[in-house]
Chains A and B, each alone.
Chain A
Amino acid sequence: KNQVEQSPQSLIILEGKNCTLQCNYTVSPFSNLRWYKQDTGRGPVSLTIMTFSENTKSNGRYTATLDADTKQSSLHITASQLSDSASYICVVILTGGGNKLTFGTGTQLKVEL
Protein backbone atom coordinates (compact mmCIF):
# COMPACT_ATOMS: atom_id res chain seq x y z
CA LYS A 1 0.00 0.00 0.00
CA ASN A 2 1.40 3.34 -1.08
CA GLN A 3 2.11 5.66 1.80
CA VAL A 4 0.96 8.65 -0.25
CA GLU A 5 -2.29 8.14 -2.12
CA GLN A 6 -3.80 10.56 -4.57
CA SER A 7 -7.24 10.87 -6.09
CA PRO A 8 -8.61 10.97 -8.61
CA GLN A 9 -6.16 9.00 -10.72
CA SER A 10 -7.15 11.08 -13.74
CA LEU A 11 -9.38 14.04 -14.43
CA ILE A 12 -10.66 15.85 -17.50
CA ILE A 13 -12.03 19.38 -17.19
CA LEU A 14 -12.95 22.22 -19.52
CA GLU A 15 -10.73 25.23 -19.85
CA GLY A 16 -11.65 27.91 -17.34
CA LYS A 17 -13.10 25.51 -14.80
CA ASN A 18 -11.74 24.86 -11.33
CA CYS A 19 -10.68 21.51 -9.90
CA THR A 20 -9.41 20.00 -6.67
CA LEU A 21 -6.94 17.16 -6.34
CA GLN A 22 -6.64 15.11 -3.17
CA CYS A 23 -3.71 13.59 -1.31
CA ASN A 24 -3.85 11.30 1.73
CA TYR A 25 -0.66 10.22 3.41
CA THR A 26 0.34 7.84 6.17
CA VAL A 27 4.06 8.52 6.39
CA SER A 28 5.34 10.26 9.50
CA PRO A 29 6.94 12.17 10.99
CA PHE A 30 7.00 14.54 8.12
CA SER A 31 8.78 17.80 7.66
CA ASN A 32 6.76 19.26 4.83
CA LEU A 33 4.43 18.41 2.00
CA ARG A 34 4.83 19.51 -1.58
CA TRP A 35 2.87 19.50 -4.74
CA TYR A 36 4.77 19.08 -7.99
CA LYS A 37 3.67 19.48 -11.58
CA GLN A 38 5.13 17.06 -14.08
CA ASP A 39 4.65 17.68 -17.76
CA THR A 40 4.82 14.61 -19.98
CA GLY A 41 8.42 13.51 -20.43
CA ARG A 42 9.78 16.18 -18.11
CA GLY A 43 10.99 16.28 -14.53
CA PRO A 44 8.70 17.38 -11.68
CA VAL A 45 8.59 21.08 -10.88
CA SER A 46 7.69 22.32 -7.41
CA LEU A 47 4.41 24.24 -7.08
CA THR A 48 3.93 24.62 -3.34
CA ILE A 49 5.76 23.71 -0.15
CA MET A 50 3.97 23.56 3.20
CA THR A 51 5.36 22.73 6.61
CA PHE A 52 3.24 20.72 9.03
CA SER A 53 2.19 23.94 10.77
CA GLU A 54 0.83 25.61 7.65
CA ASN A 55 -2.76 25.18 6.50
CA THR A 56 -2.65 26.78 3.10
CA LYS A 57 -0.19 28.02 0.52
CA SER A 58 -0.88 29.70 -2.79
CA ASN A 59 1.14 30.04 -5.95
CA GLY A 60 -0.82 31.97 -8.55
CA ARG A 61 -3.81 29.90 -9.59
CA TYR A 62 -2.65 26.99 -7.43
CA THR A 63 -3.73 26.77 -3.78
CA ALA A 64 -2.68 23.90 -1.55
CA THR A 65 -4.22 23.06 1.79
CA LEU A 66 -2.95 20.79 4.53
CA ASP A 67 -4.69 19.16 7.48
CA ALA A 68 -1.94 17.51 9.51
CA ASP A 69 -4.48 15.98 11.90
CA THR A 70 -6.29 14.01 9.22
CA LYS A 71 -3.14 13.71 7.08
CA GLN A 72 -4.86 15.13 4.04
CA SER A 73 -3.83 17.72 1.51
CA SER A 74 -5.53 19.17 -1.52
CA LEU A 75 -4.45 21.19 -4.52
CA HIS A 76 -7.03 23.57 -5.96
CA ILE A 77 -6.54 24.92 -9.46
CA THR A 78 -8.65 27.88 -10.48
CA ALA A 79 -9.49 29.12 -13.96
CA SER A 80 -7.73 26.18 -15.57
CA GLN A 81 -5.70 26.63 -18.73
CA LEU A 82 -4.69 24.18 -21.42
CA SER A 83 -1.12 24.39 -20.13
CA ASP A 84 -2.29 22.98 -16.79
CA SER A 85 -2.57 19.58 -18.46
CA ALA A 86 0.01 17.52 -16.60
CA SER A 87 0.50 15.06 -13.77
CA TYR A 88 0.24 16.57 -10.29
CA ILE A 89 2.24 14.76 -7.67
CA CYS A 90 1.93 15.00 -3.92
CA VAL A 91 5.25 14.50 -2.13
CA VAL A 92 5.76 14.09 1.60
CA ILE A 93 9.14 15.04 2.95
CA LEU A 94 10.20 13.08 6.02
CA THR A 95 12.33 14.41 8.82
CA GLY A 96 15.72 12.88 9.41
CA GLY A 97 18.43 11.83 7.02
CA GLY A 98 18.55 9.65 3.95
CA ASN A 99 15.84 9.71 1.32
CA LYS A 100 13.29 12.18 2.49
CA LEU A 101 10.87 12.21 -0.44
CA THR A 102 7.89 9.88 -0.64
CA PHE A 103 5.97 10.35 -3.87
CA GLY A 104 2.34 9.76 -4.66
CA THR A 105 1.47 8.23 -8.01
CA GLY A 106 -0.04 11.47 -9.22
CA THR A 107 -3.27 12.74 -10.70
CA GLN A 108 -3.26 13.07 -14.47
CA LEU A 109 -5.13 16.27 -15.36
CA LYS A 110 -6.28 17.08 -18.87
CA VAL A 111 -7.75 20.47 -19.66
CA GLU A 112 -9.82 20.60 -22.83
CA LEU A 113 -11.43 23.35 -24.88
Chain B
Amino acid sequence: DSGVTQTPKHLITATGQRVTLRCSPRSGDLSVYWYQQSLDQGLQFLIHYYNGEERAKGNILERFSAQQFPDLHSELNLSSLELGDSALYFCASSVAGTGHYTFGSGTRLTVV
Protein backbone atom coordinates (compact mmCIF):
# COMPACT_ATOMS: atom_id res chain seq x y z
CA ASP B 1 0.00 0.00 0.00
CA SER B 2 1.56 3.25 -1.20
CA GLY B 3 -0.57 5.42 1.05
CA VAL B 4 -2.33 7.03 -1.93
CA THR B 5 -5.86 5.69 -2.28
CA GLN B 6 -7.84 5.81 -5.49
CA THR B 7 -11.43 4.78 -5.92
CA PRO B 8 -13.02 3.10 -7.68
CA LYS B 9 -10.45 0.62 -9.01
CA HIS B 10 -12.53 -0.16 -12.05
CA LEU B 11 -15.30 1.75 -13.78
CA ILE B 12 -17.31 0.83 -16.84
CA THR B 13 -19.65 3.39 -18.29
CA ALA B 14 -21.33 4.36 -21.54
CA THR B 15 -20.41 7.11 -23.96
CA GLY B 16 -21.86 10.48 -23.08
CA GLN B 17 -21.90 9.76 -19.36
CA ARG B 18 -20.12 11.54 -16.53
CA VAL B 19 -17.92 9.93 -13.87
CA THR B 20 -15.98 11.07 -10.83
CA LEU B 21 -12.66 9.56 -9.80
CA ARG B 22 -11.43 10.05 -6.28
CA CYS B 23 -7.95 10.28 -4.81
CA SER B 24 -6.86 10.51 -1.19
CA PRO B 25 -3.23 11.59 -0.93
CA ARG B 26 -0.66 10.18 1.42
CA SER B 27 -0.89 11.67 4.90
CA GLY B 28 0.94 14.98 5.02
CA ASP B 29 1.17 15.42 1.25
CA LEU B 30 -0.33 18.69 0.04
CA SER B 31 0.10 18.17 -3.69
CA VAL B 32 -2.04 15.96 -5.89
CA TYR B 33 -1.30 15.24 -9.53
CA TRP B 34 -3.59 13.51 -12.01
CA TYR B 35 -2.27 11.48 -14.93
CA GLN B 36 -3.88 9.59 -17.79
CA GLN B 37 -2.30 6.43 -19.19
CA SER B 38 -3.85 5.15 -22.39
CA LEU B 39 -2.98 1.75 -23.83
CA ASP B 40 0.71 1.55 -24.68
CA GLN B 41 1.17 5.24 -23.90
CA GLY B 42 3.24 7.00 -21.29
CA LEU B 43 1.59 8.78 -18.43
CA GLN B 44 0.22 12.12 -19.56
CA PHE B 45 -0.04 14.92 -17.05
CA LEU B 46 -3.53 16.32 -16.59
CA ILE B 47 -3.54 18.70 -13.64
CA HIS B 48 -1.81 19.56 -10.36
CA TYR B 49 -3.36 20.87 -7.17
CA TYR B 50 -1.53 22.14 -4.13
CA ASN B 51 -3.36 22.65 -0.85
CA GLY B 52 -6.66 23.22 -2.61
CA GLU B 53 -5.41 25.47 -5.38
CA GLU B 54 -4.83 24.61 -9.00
CA ARG B 55 -1.12 24.95 -9.77
CA ALA B 56 -0.65 23.64 -13.28
CA LYS B 57 -2.59 22.20 -16.18
CA GLY B 58 -1.40 19.77 -18.78
CA ASN B 59 -3.27 18.44 -21.78
CA ILE B 60 -6.53 18.22 -19.93
CA LEU B 61 -9.66 18.32 -22.04
CA GLU B 62 -12.34 20.91 -21.37
CA ARG B 63 -14.69 18.00 -20.65
CA PHE B 64 -12.48 17.12 -17.68
CA SER B 65 -12.22 19.06 -14.45
CA ALA B 66 -10.76 18.51 -11.02
CA GLN B 67 -10.74 19.96 -7.56
CA GLN B 68 -8.99 19.47 -4.27
CA PHE B 69 -11.01 19.72 -1.10
CA PRO B 70 -10.04 21.14 2.33
CA ASP B 71 -9.27 17.63 3.59
CA LEU B 72 -6.84 17.41 0.63
CA HIS B 73 -8.59 14.63 -1.21
CA SER B 74 -9.10 15.30 -4.90
CA GLU B 75 -11.70 14.41 -7.48
CA LEU B 76 -11.33 14.21 -11.23
CA ASN B 77 -14.58 14.69 -13.11
CA LEU B 78 -14.87 13.36 -16.64
CA SER B 79 -17.97 14.29 -18.63
CA SER B 80 -19.43 13.60 -22.07
CA LEU B 81 -17.27 10.50 -22.13
CA GLU B 82 -15.95 9.16 -25.40
CA LEU B 83 -14.49 5.77 -26.27
CA GLY B 84 -11.04 7.36 -26.40
CA ASP B 85 -11.26 8.33 -22.76
CA SER B 86 -10.82 4.70 -21.80
CA ALA B 87 -7.57 4.60 -19.88
CA LEU B 88 -5.92 4.19 -16.53
CA TYR B 89 -6.12 7.32 -14.44
CA PHE B 90 -3.48 7.72 -11.77
CA CYS B 91 -3.08 10.24 -9.06
CA ALA B 92 0.16 10.93 -7.27
CA SER B 93 0.86 12.96 -4.17
CA SER B 94 3.97 14.66 -2.93
CA VAL B 95 5.26 16.83 -0.14
CA ALA B 96 6.23 20.25 -1.45
CA GLY B 97 9.92 20.63 -2.12
CA THR B 98 10.94 17.01 -1.60
CA GLY B 99 10.45 15.77 -5.13
CA HIS B 100 9.11 12.48 -3.79
CA TYR B 101 6.03 11.37 -5.68
CA THR B 102 3.88 8.50 -4.54
CA PHE B 103 1.41 7.00 -6.98
CA GLY B 104 -1.89 5.36 -6.30
CA SER B 105 -2.92 2.10 -7.94
CA GLY B 106 -5.08 3.87 -10.47
CA THR B 107 -8.66 3.74 -11.70
CA ARG B 108 -9.25 1.77 -14.88
CA LEU B 109 -11.98 3.50 -16.85
CA THR B 110 -13.66 1.68 -19.70
CA VAL B 111 -16.08 3.60 -21.88
CA VAL B 112 -18.34 1.39 -23.98
Query: Which residues does A use to contact B, with CB under 8 Å?
Result: 2, 4, 31-32, 41-46, 49, 89, 93, 97-101, 103-106
State whether B33 touches A99 (Cβ < 8 A): yes
Count of A-B contacts with CB under 8 A? 53
In the assembled complex, how far is the CB of residue B93 from the closest CB belonging to chain A, in whole angstroms? Answer: 11
Q: Which of A49, A99, A105 has the most CB of B within 10 A?
A: A99
- Other-chain residue from B42, B105, B106 in contact with A106 (beta carbon distance below 8 A): B42
Stretch from B11-19, B69-77, B78-86, B96-104 forming part of the interface with A: B96-104
Bound complex: CA A101 to CA B104 (Å): 16
State whether A99 touches B45 (Cβ < 8 A): yes
State whether A97 touches B56 (Cβ < 8 A): yes
Q: A32-B99, A98-B55, A99-B58 are in contact. Are A44 and B42 (CB under 8 A)?
A: no
State whether A89 touches B45 (Cβ < 8 A): no
What are 11 inter-chain pairs, A to B, with CB distance below 8 A? Answer: A41-B105, A43-B105, A43-B106, A46-B100, A49-B99, A89-B42, A97-B55, A98-B48, A98-B56, A103-B43, A105-B40
In the assembled complex, how far is the CB of residue A13 from the closest CB belonging to chain B, in whole angstroms? Answer: 20
State whether B2 touches A41 (Cβ < 8 A): no
Residue of A nearest to B92 (CB): A43
| Interface residues of A, dominant DSSP | loop
In the assembled complex, how far is the CB of residue A113 from the closest CB belonging to chain B, in whole angstroms? Answer: 26
Enumerate chain A residues within 8 angstroms of B90, measured Cβ to Cβ.
Answer: 43-44
State whether B41 touches A43 (Cβ < 8 A): no
Ranked 7 nearest A-B pairs via Cβ: A43-B103, A98-B56, A103-B42, A105-B42, A103-B43, A99-B45, A99-B56
In the assembled complex, how far is the CB of residue B86 from the closest CB belonging to chain A, in whole angstroms? Answer: 14
Bound complex: CA A67 to CA B90 (Å): 30
State whether A43 touches B99 (Cβ < 8 A): no
State whether B108 touches A45 (Cβ < 8 A): no
Bound complex: CA A100 to CA B106 (Å): 20
State whether B2 touches A45 (Cβ < 8 A): yes
